[in-house]
Amino acid sequence: MNISNLDLPELHANQAVVLQHPARIKVLVTGRRWGKYEMAKRAALEAAAEGQHVTWLSRNFESAAASFEGLRHIVWDQPGYTVARGGLRISLMNGASITFLYKSSSFLKNHLQDAVLDLVIIDEAAFMPEWIWEMAEKYLPSNGKALLLSTPRITQEHEQDYFRRLYYRAKYLKGHYSWQFSTADNPYIHGAEIFNSKKELSPAHYQSEILGQFVILGWRTTSDKPRPKDNWAGTA
């Protein structure tokens, strides 16, 4: 199927870099309003147009429903798409599907075990429990792909943060790649908005939500300085 007739926004240069990269497992850390959601929508629709089954995981029902509605609005009047609002699912005439689930879904575990996981998108992954990624990774086929994207979460010094760990591991694991962008890396964001955010937010929240950097209270770290225990080669 061809998605050229769909009303999708043009990717900015940094979104295109991530989307077109050949890595199988992609970990994306950004400031808010960088454009994670718009890029993920295109990733899901492109994969489904190629006949793949997409699973989109969100932190709660409201987020899953909002993501579903965003894609439903794009395809609802297009031939070849069937929208099941009750099941948060979009089916395509080529046999592909995009299914939206959230961390407390009663059938999430069964879906990850039994469904075809051609592409798994984990939205706001830093705020999702680690077991969801562990399970998705376990049942991801050898040619399956994953896109984990999030604004980083502020953590305490001795608090585990699997998303931060994944970000650093993806820098050297085969088939993995990670990126870190700030809000300013979206060329459509006006500089005044970023300036105002710096005045409105605490330093820690500005570093996390705008600069897209990992913040550990009691230990300051940036994309270039992982904590020693974050920089380890565990199993992929």
Is pLDDT above 50 for 223? no
- What's the confidence (pLDDT) of residue 220? 52
Strands 97-102, 53-58: pairing kind: parallel
> What's the Cα-to-Cα distance from 36 to each of 59, 97, 213, 232, rounded to whole Å?
15, 21, 15, 27
- Residues 94-135: tens digit of each pLDDT: 999 999 999 998 889 999 999 999 999 999 999 999 999 999
- What's the confidence (pLDDT) of residue 219? 63
Q: How far is 162 from 129, CA to CA, in rounded Å?
A: 9
Q: Is the Cβ–Cβ distance between 34 and 182 less than 8 Å?
A: yes
- What's the confidence (pLDDT) of residue 217? 87
Radius of gyration of the chain (CA): 18
Arithmetic mean of pLDDT, 60-73? 95
Arithmetic mean of pLDDT, 171-187? 95
- pTM recorded for the entire structure: 0.89
Is pLDDT above 60 for 229? no
- What's the confidence (pLDDT) of residue 86? 81
Q: What CATH architecture applies to the domain 21-225?
A: 3-Layer(aba) Sandwich (3.40)
